[in-house]
């Protein structure tokens, strides 16, 4: 609705502003009686050398189109009432025609790479890893909806000094049989013990640095232990990803780039970018600390590996953009990384984006693997599924496929609780709050979809040609939301912000439930099939919105 109105406004002002510029200025009036769309004329005053009030009157007089019902000029605004009948029919017919493709952009021959999840091997998959995992997955789905081909990369933390620590810890306190029986749990124990002891024994950190250097140099014993730690972790991670319904195209982690880093260091040296600083090599940067490339002992760092990864991905995929879905505490690292790539002469550095996010908190505090203060994601998911199962047993024992639905609702609740929040905000999670069927939760949206599915079944809905009319006043807010869905999908990709889709799904569910509360959908009258067709359109869009977030939409709950 905004785009065609913006085109009319642009034409009326002789292209003084582009359609895109006008779309960004368009507002929704605070009160319905003021109109469906408002265009403020204040930014045009200086350009046209007229008052906003005069500009508004002149524009209002020029606007005429079948989509517009009424136009008023009020206090420097052009307030527009659209032809609700025409908009309603256009939107609903488009949804019935396109089904789940509604809001999709025509496929383009361009890739985007999304680096997300990226847990450290030999450590448990905690609630702290959830954010990168679900934000990245949703962004990948949204990118595909926008027509892009997506490479989903799990840049595993399978290299670095922490493996020197783990090797030392295993040699000192490890029990092979115990680790084979419960790999992650036992490895976490000795990792936490290493940090406890290292607080009073600095020599342990020296041993860890030496062990990691031997790993980088190809020491057979160190490599054997590293491979064992990695395989045990991946097996455990696979179960989590399967439960979350998340897939990857690549598990090429930090270790994958071990043989590609020398070329990066050489290139930096050849281009005169390396500077020696206290025995280490750095790249000096503007307005921020230098980027450390190699330590005094020649060992590489995150930056070295991320440089190698970026160069490899650019060559391998030729992407339009590379997104790094990593917590905001790494903001400086990525600013340094992108600036180094720019200084190397690669103009595609502008196509790299750090998709930062806030922390997952427990009782208002950051979780720490080092201190052992960690909540396992597997435990949270299991508890959420169990809670959903109890709810089903209490309210709908006759439900078919109860275990499947419990899994869809429990897992969906955990994912939605994360994605409904602006990604930059910290989240202090509460399982009770997540599972509430009445609040701003995943189960509430899923239940709305299930309610509509039940209506369609009871009403024996069959798709047919429908002329939409007389849907009632409570349908119009729903229509307005449905019309906005394509723009929401586009905007959420442009801003790398899946929360816009999550918030949209809540608004749509609330608006439909209000309509349902005031409308006898199954009343056996001449409008019954029209009302069911309308409900079907809502179900299609709700289901697709949930799918973009990585959440299932059960037909029954």
In this prediction, residue 367 carries a pLDDT of 59
Question: What's the pLDDT band for 300 if we cut at 50, 70, 90?
Answer: low
Q: Are 143 and 112 in contact (CB under 8 A)?
A: yes
pLDDT tens for 243-291 read 999 999 999 999 999 889 999 999 999 999 999 988 889 999 999 999 9
**455 domain residue, yes or no:** yes
**89 domain residue, yes or no:** no
**Phi–psi pair at 462, nearest 5 degrees:** -135, 135
In percent, the amount of the chain with pLDDT more than 70 equals 97
Domain that holds residue 398: 377-549
pLDDT tens for 158-188 read 987 889 999 999 999 999 999 888 888 888 8
> Cα 254–260–266 angle (5° rounding)?
130
Q: How far is CA 143 from CA 242, 284, 371, in A?
A: 21, 35, 37
Look at 364 and 129; give whichever has higher pLDDT.
129
Average pLDDT over residues 451-471: 90
Number of domains forming the structure of the chain:
3
In this prediction, residue 477 carries a pLDDT of 94
Same domain, 224 and 361: yes
**35 domain residue, yes or no:** yes
pLDDT tens for 112-136 read 999 999 998 888 888 888 999 999 9
Residue 293 CB neighbours (<10 A): 23
**556 domain residue, yes or no:** no
Question: What's the pLDDT band for 333 if we cut at 50, 70, 90?
Answer: very high
Burial pattern 8-40, b for ≥16 Cβ within 10 A else e, equals bbbebbeeebebeebbebbeebeeeebbbbbbb
Same domain, 167 and 235: yes
Residues 6+ apart with CB under 8 A from 484: 1, 2, 504
Average pLDDT over residues 24-30: 89
Note the pTM of the prediction, 2 decimals.
Answer: 0.90
**531 domain residue, yes or no:** yes
Q: If you write DSSP's letter for every residue of 306-358 in order, what string do you get?
A: HHHHHHHHHHHH--SEEEEE--GGGHHHHHHHHHHHHHTT-GGGGGEEEE---
Query: Does position 372 have pLDDT exceeding 60, yes or no?
Result: no
Among the listed residues 311, 305, 333, 262, the one whose alpha carbon sits nearest the alpha carbon of residue 163:
305
CATH number for the domain including 545? 1.10.730.10
Q: Per DSSP, what are the bridge partners of residue 294?
A: 281, 300
CATH number for the domain including 273? 3.40.50.620
Average pLDDT over residues 360-388: 76
Which one of 328, 347, 366 terminates a domain? Answer: 366
Query: Does position 66 have pLDDT exceeding 80, yes or no?
Result: no
Helices marked H in 49-102:
52-62, 84-98
Query: Does position 194 have pLDDT exceeding 80, yes or no?
Result: yes
Same domain, 360 and 385: no
**99 domain residue, yes or no:** no
Q: How far is CA 11 from CA 4, 17, 50, in A?
A: 11, 9, 18
Among the listed residues 269, 330, 296, 317, the one whose alpha carbon sits nearest the alpha carbon of residue 114:
317
Mean residue pLDDT of the chain comes to 91
Q: In what order do the strands lie in the sheet with 321-325?
A: 149-153, 111-115, 321-325, 352-355
Which sign does the torsion angle of CA 544, 545, 551, 556 carry?
negative
Query: Does position 364 have pLDDT exceeding 70, yes or no?
Result: no
Same domain, 360 and 381: no
Tell me the Ramachandran region of residue 443: left when phi exceeds 0, alpha when psi lies from -120 to 50, beta otherwise: alpha
In this prediction, residue 368 carries a pLDDT of 54
Average pLDDT over residues 470-489: 93
Question: What's the pLDDT band for 17 if we cut at 50, 70, 90?
Answer: confident
Same domain, 201 and 73: no
**102 domain residue, yes or no:** no
- Beta-sheet pairing, 360-362 with 427-428: parallel
């Amino acid at each position: 609705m905004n785009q065609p109105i913006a085109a009319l406004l642009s034409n009326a002002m002789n292209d003084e502003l582009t359609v895109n510029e006008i779309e960004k200025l368009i507002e929704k009036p605070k009160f319905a009686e003021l109109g469906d769309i408002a265009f403020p004329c204040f930014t045009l005053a200086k350009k046209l050398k007229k008052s906003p009030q005069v500009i508004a009157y002149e524009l209002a007089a020029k606007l005429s189109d079948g989509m517009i019902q009424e136009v008023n000029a009020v206090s420097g605004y052009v307030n527009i009432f659209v032809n609700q009948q025409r908009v309603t029919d256009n939107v609903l017919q488009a949804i019935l025609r396109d089904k789940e493709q509604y809001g999709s952009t025509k496929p383009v021959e361009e890739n985007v790479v999304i680096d997300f999840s990226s847990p450290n091997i030999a450590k448990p998959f905690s609630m702290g890893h959830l954010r990168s995992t679900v934000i990245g997955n949703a962004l990948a789905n949204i990118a595909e909806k926008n027509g892009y081909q997506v490479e989903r990369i799990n840049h595993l933390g399978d290299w670095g000094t922490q493996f020197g620590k783990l090797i030392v810890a295993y040699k000192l306190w490890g029990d092979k049989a115990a680790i084979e029986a419960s790999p992650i749990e036992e490895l976490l124990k000795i990792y936490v013990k290493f940090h406890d002891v290292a607080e009073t024994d600095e020599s342990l950190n020296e041993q860890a640095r030496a062990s990691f250097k031997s790993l980088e140099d190809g020491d057979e014993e160190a490599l054997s232990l590293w491979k064992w730690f990695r395989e045990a972790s991946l097996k455990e991670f696979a179960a989590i990803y399967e439960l979350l319904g998340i897939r990857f195209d690549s598990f090429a982690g930090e270790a994958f780039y071990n043989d590609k880093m020398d070329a990066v260091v050489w290139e930096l040296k050849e281009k005169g970018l390396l500077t020696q600083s206290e025995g280490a090599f750095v790249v000096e940067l503007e307005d921020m600390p230098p980027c450390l490339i190699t330590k005094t002992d020649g060992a590489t760092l995150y930056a070295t590996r991320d440089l190698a990864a970026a160069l490899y991905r650019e060559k391998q995929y030729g992407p339009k953009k590379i997104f790094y879905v990593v917590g905001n505490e790494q903001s400086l690292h990525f600013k340094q990384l992108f600036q180094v790539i720019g200084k190397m002469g690669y103009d595609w550095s502008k196509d790299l984006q750090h998709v930062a996010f806030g922390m997952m908190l427990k009782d208002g505090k950051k979780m720490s693997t080092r201190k052992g203060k960690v909540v396992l994601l597997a435990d949270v998911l299991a508890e959420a599924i169990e809670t959903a199962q109890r709810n089903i047993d209490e309210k709908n024992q006759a439900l078919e496929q109860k275990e499947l639905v419990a899994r869809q609702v429990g897992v969906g609740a955990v994912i939605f609780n994360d994605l409904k929040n602006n990604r930059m905000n910290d989240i202090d999670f509460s399982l009770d709050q997540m599972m509430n069927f009445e609040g701003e939760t995943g189960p509430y949206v899923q239940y709305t979809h299930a309610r509509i599915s039940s209506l369609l079944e009871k009403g024996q809905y069959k798709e047919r040609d429908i002329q939409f009319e007389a849907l009632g006043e409570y349908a119009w807010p729903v229509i307005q939301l449905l019309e906005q869905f394509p723009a929401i999908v586009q905007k959420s990709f442009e801003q790398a912000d899946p929360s816009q889709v999550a918030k949209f799904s809540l608004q749509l569910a609330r608006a439909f439930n209000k309509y349902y509360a005031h409308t006898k959908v199954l009343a056996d009258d001449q409008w019954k099939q029209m009302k069911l067709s309308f409900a079907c359109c809502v179900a299609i869009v709700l289901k697709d919105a949930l799918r973009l977030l990585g959440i299932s939409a059960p037909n029954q709950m």
